[in-house]
Chains A and B, each alone.
Chain A
Amino acid sequence: MSQSLSCQIEVRGLLDPSWAQAFDGLTLDPSPDGTVLTCTVGDQAALHGVLALIRDSGVPIISITVRSPTQEA
């Protein structure tokens, strides 16, 4: 597996906690504007899988941040 990516996606509105089950290791935290979804994915295809899930649900995205662990250090 190539270098993993940590991604944070902020969406508008409070999401139901059941969303956490929809994708591997997805965590949900409330934010002032809505909900922050945090997950670590293996590669770009997995990242796009998360984005597709959000797209299909129709939740508006406010911001997306993707980092590889080396950049975080």
Chain B
Amino acid sequence: MVQFFLSKASMPRAGRLISRPRLVRMFTDGVDARLVLVAAPAGFGKTTAVVDWLTHSEVDRAWLSLDADDNDLSKFLRYLWTAIVGSPSLPGRAGSGPPDAAEAIGEIVAVLARGTAPAVIVLDDFHVIVSAQVQGAVRLLLEHLPDHVRLVVVGRHDPALPLSLLRARAQLLEVRADALAFTDEETGAFLRERMGLDLSRADVTALGAGTEGWPAVLQLAGVWLSGTTATSARVRELAASNRFVLDFVSDEVLSGLPAATVDFLLRTSLLERLTGGLCDAVTGRDDGRAMLEYLDRSNLLVQPLEEGREWYRYHRLFADVLRARLSASRPDELPVLQRRAAGWYDEHGYAADAIEHALSCKDWEFASGLLAKASAAVIHAAEYVTLLGWLDRLPVVVLREDSLLSTRYAWALALTGRVDEVERRLADAEEALPRAQQAGRPDVVSARSQFALIRSVVARTTGDGAAAVAHARDALREAPADLAEDRRVLLNADAQALLGHALWAVGDVDGAMAAYRTARPLLQASGNWIGLADIARNLARLEVGAGRLRQALAECHDALGPPDHCAIPALAPVHLARAEVLHRLRDPDAAAAAELALTLARDGGDTATAHDARLLLERLTREPPPDAQHAQGETVAPLTQRELEVLRLTAAGRSNRQIATELYLALGTVKSHLHAIAGKLGAANRVEAVAIARRSGLLP
């Protein structure tokens, strides 16, 4: 659903401000800080300063630009995972409830702990985070951050993090407005190098005092000053004004621009991101691209978002000024512009932006249509909180009249565990159904089956297994005869999987397995890997429970199917199930299978599976296959399991620190193990210890 996914999780381009070695030094000198706090009002060049530092630095970095949507904990954790691990995260498992922040952060920390090179995690625009859950997750990350990783929090105000504690421990580096404000020297250099303005020293000082070194305001002032030869007079005018300096300079800049340019700026100010075609759609003109290039070339009012210069954005402070002016001077125009923007976004496949703007301009019919089109994908992506947020912005009467949207509302409620509210929405959906059917809407053909599926999920959540079974069977029975083949596959796959879960819950193991086996090929055919992984893992567990280990293994292999399916990250739980079965079979391949499960789970951001796979791997390392135990028995002074592990890693060329990380030991413990090993083997150092161990068959 999120089209700007990658740009959100990558560092913005370096801006065209001057390089500020003073600030870069401040960042690099604070290497011991666990938390770097960059806190200052809008337009103080916070992001630019961090980008400037990181482009001058060798450290590994993960960047996350936050927005209001990230107050949804599951969304935040997925983006954080993507930013750190570098691979897009899979949606959460349907109906798995709210994500476990401790588990997810634990897995992120485990990934970070694999490295040793200095790294930073940047959370930009952290002030948009108001969710206590997300703030709590960040606190957790901060507490468990490995020594080589620093967290950089950038925002307009101080975050709700334990700042005093970190300050007392000298683990906090603060970069604030007083440091970010331009010095007179920087003001002079900026105007000279970026604006081609050579001001006298006195004028620079007066300008610095008048703007208090506020970088974004200085940019605007630079645009204003470059339109005249009488710069000194303008500087004096600014310094003498008692108006809020941002109002003063933006007024002056706008009044100096041609009317057509001001019109363009105002009409496009509602857009978060600008591109030629979108601007044309909104303004009703045809000069969007040319205008953006002109603004880009001639001054600093827009910033290109990527090298190709297709997408731009206004500086936020400037956009706020323009928007305030638009709503003050042309209040009736705003909804018209929003409606046009929504239309362009819809035509170009930006569903989320289209919905946002359609809801903002209160075009309910258009918004309902967009939501009907997009909501299945949003549910599939497990972005329930986002969907509920959108649907809640529709007037109640609009929502109740729409059978499909009421059904989707009920789905989102059922899957987030808000089961008490489901029936009311289903009642609305049922009441509105005849009208939708009369209108011949194709998306309500299987409505009655959908109602039954939702009720089955609710019954399972509330622990009523018998009702869950009955509703799942209803869903199969209610499936209309004339359903198109692809829809039939999807519906039957969901219904059989839910029937399997429900039957297992009431203890009908054979029935559950039969339903799961019916669901398997349907899920494979519809490419629903998440659903497939769920039922395959359950099948394997049921077989294990019945003592049929070979059969359990076969279930995993059936689900994994052709070799090219094996590397699908969503199938990580199947690999984990396979590893667990192999472990029970004392098969030496268990470790490799667990390793693969861990890798795939990390690729897919499936922290729950990653967590279990990592624990299994640790257990496998503690309990090596029988032949290793046999070899140990032959030595004169037997090594402990732990010592054997340390020795094996030493032989593999790992440093003490790496061994400590891999085995979750303190560095000192690793050293004392090595000391004991050397003593038992009669070796002078680690190299000799490895050689002796190899000769005596302790190591391969």
Known interface pairs A45-B158, A56-B130; A24-B177 also in contact (CB < 8 Å): no
Whether B156 pairs with A45 at a CB distance below 8 angstroms is yes
- Taking CB atoms, residues of chain A closer than 8 Å to B686 are none
B178 at the interface (CB under 8 A from A): yes
B160 at the interface (CB under 8 A from A): yes
Known interface pairs A2-B177, A49-B158; A24-B41 also in contact (CB < 8 Å): no
B488 at the interface (CB under 8 A from A): no
Whether A46 pairs with B41 at a CB distance below 8 angstroms is no
The dominant DSSP class at the A interface is helix
List 9 additional contacts besides A43-B178, A45-B156, A49-B157; criterion CB under 8 Å: A43-B40, A44-B40, A44-B177, A45-B39, A46-B39, A48-B156, A49-B159, A53-B160, A55-B130
Give the Cβ gap from B76 to chain A, nearest Cβ, in Å: 16
A60 at the interface (CB under 8 A from B): no
A-B contact number at CB 8 A: 54
Give the Cβ gap from A12 to chain B, nearest Cβ, in Å: 20
Question: 4 closest pairs, A vs B, by CB?
Answer: A49-B158, A48-B157, A45-B39, A2-B178
Whether A45 pairs with B177 at a CB distance below 8 angstroms is yes
Give the Cβ gap from A46 to chain B, nearest Cβ, in Å: 5
- Taking CB atoms, residues of chain A closer than 8 Å to B176 are 1-2, 42-43, 45
A51 at the interface (CB under 8 A from B): yes
Q: Determine which of A1, A24, A45 lies in contact with B157 in the assembled complex, contact meaning CB atoms within 8 Å.
A: A45
Report the separation of the CA atoms of residues A47 and B127 in the bound assembly, to the nearest whole angstrom: 13
Query: Which residues 1-59 of A have a CB within 8 angstroms of B?
Result: 1-2, 22, 24-25, 42-53, 55-56
Query: Which residues 15-74 of B have a CB within 8 angstroms of A?
Result: 39-41
- Taking CB atoms, residues of chain B closer than 8 Å to A53 are 160
Task: List chain A positions with a Cβ less than 8 A from chain B.
Answer: 1-2, 22, 24-25, 42-53, 55-56
Give the Cβ gap from B33 to chain A, nearest Cβ, in Å: 16
Report the separation of the CA atoms of residues A45 and B158 in the bound assembly, to the nearest whole angstrom: 6
Q: Which A residue's beta carbon lies closest to that of B163?
A: A24
Report the separation of the CA atoms of residues A52 and B130 in the bound assembly, to the nearest whole angstrom: 8
Give the Cβ gap from B73 to chain A, nearest Cβ, in Å: 15
Q: Determine which of A45, A49, A50 lies in contact with B41 in the assembled complex, contact meaning CB atoms within 8 Å.
A: A45
- Taking CB atoms, residues of chain B closer than 8 Å to A46 are 39, 157-158
B324 at the interface (CB under 8 A from A): no
- Taking CB atoms, residues of chain A closer than 8 Å to B167 are 24
Q: Determine which of B130, B158, B178 lies in contact with A48 in the assembled complex, contact meaning CB atoms within 8 Å.
A: B158
Whether B158 pairs with A1 at a CB distance below 8 angstroms is no
Whether A22 pairs with B160 at a CB distance below 8 angstroms is yes
Report the separation of the CA atoms of residues A48 and B160 in the bound assembly, to the nearest whole angstrom: 11
Report the separation of the CA atoms of residues A55 and B39 in the bound assembly, to the nearest whole angstrom: 18
- Taking CB atoms, residues of chain A closer than 8 Å to B40 are 43-45
- Taking CB atoms, residues of chain A closer than 8 Å to B158 are 45-46, 48-50, 52
* 9 A-B pairs whose Cβ atoms sit less than 8 Å apart in the complex: A2-B177, A22-B160, A42-B176, A44-B40, A45-B41, A45-B158, A46-B157, A50-B158, A52-B158
B164 at the interface (CB under 8 A from A): yes
- Taking CB atoms, residues of chain B closer than 8 Å to A55 are 130
Task: List chain B positions with a Cβ less than 8 A from chain A.
Answer: 39-41, 127, 130, 132, 155-160, 163-164, 167, 176-178
Report the separation of the CA atoms of residues A44 and B132 in the bound assembly, to the nearest whole angstrom: 22
Residue of A25, A42, A52 ringed by the most chain B CB atoms within 10 A: A52
Give the Cβ gap from A68 to chain B, nearest Cβ, in Å: 14
Report the separation of the CA atoms of residues A55 and B156 in the bound assembly, to the nearest whole angstrom: 15
Report the separation of the CA atoms of residues A44 and B159 in the bound assembly, to the nearest whole angstrom: 13
Give the Cβ gap from B85 to chain A, nearest Cβ, in Å: 30
- Taking CB atoms, residues of chain B closer than 8 Å to A24 are 163-164, 167
- Taking CB atoms, residues of chain A closer than 8 Å to B130 are 52, 55-56
Give the Cβ gap from A61 to chain B, nearest Cβ, in Å: 16
Report the separation of the CA atoms of residues A30 and B629 in the bound assembly, to the nearest whole angstrom: 69
- Taking CB atoms, residues of chain A closer than 8 Å to B160 are 22, 49, 52-53, 56
Known interface pairs A42-B176, A43-B178; A49-B39 also in contact (CB < 8 Å): yes
Residue of B41, B167, B176 ringed by the most chain A CB atoms within 10 A: B176
- Taking CB atoms, residues of chain B closer than 8 Å to A47 are 157
- Taking CB atoms, residues of chain B closer than 8 Å to A51 are 157
Report the separation of the CA atoms of residues A47 and B158 in the bound assembly, to the nearest whole angstrom: 8
- Taking CB atoms, residues of chain B closer than 8 Å to A2 are 176-178
Q: Which A residue's beta carbon lies closest to that of B155?
A: A45
Give the Cβ gap from B642 to chain A, nearest Cβ, in Å: 41
Q: Determine which of B41, B127, B155, B164 lies in contact with A44 in the assembled complex, contact meaning CB atoms within 8 Å.
A: B41
- Taking CB atoms, residues of chain A closer than 8 Å to B41 are 44-45, 48
Whether B178 pairs with A1 at a CB distance below 8 angstroms is yes
- Taking CB atoms, residues of chain A closer than 8 Å to B39 are 43, 45-46, 49
- Taking CB atoms, residues of chain A closer than 8 Å to B156 are 45, 48
Report the separation of the CA atoms of residues A24 and B158 in the bound assembly, to the nearest whole angstrom: 11
- Taking CB atoms, residues of chain A closer than 8 Å to B178 are 1-2, 43
Give the Cβ gap from B456 to chain A, nearest Cβ, in Å: 37
Report the separation of the CA atoms of residues A47 and B157 in the bound assembly, to the nearest whole angstrom: 7
- Taking CB atoms, residues of chain A closer than 8 Å to B127 are 48, 52
- Taking CB atoms, residues of chain B closer than 8 Å to A48 are 41, 127, 156-158
Give the Cβ gap from A20 to chain B, nearest Cβ, in Å: 12
Whether B132 pairs with A56 at a CB distance below 8 angstroms is yes
- Taking CB atoms, residues of chain A closer than 8 Å to B164 are 24-25
- Taking CB atoms, residues of chain B closer than 8 Å to A22 are 160
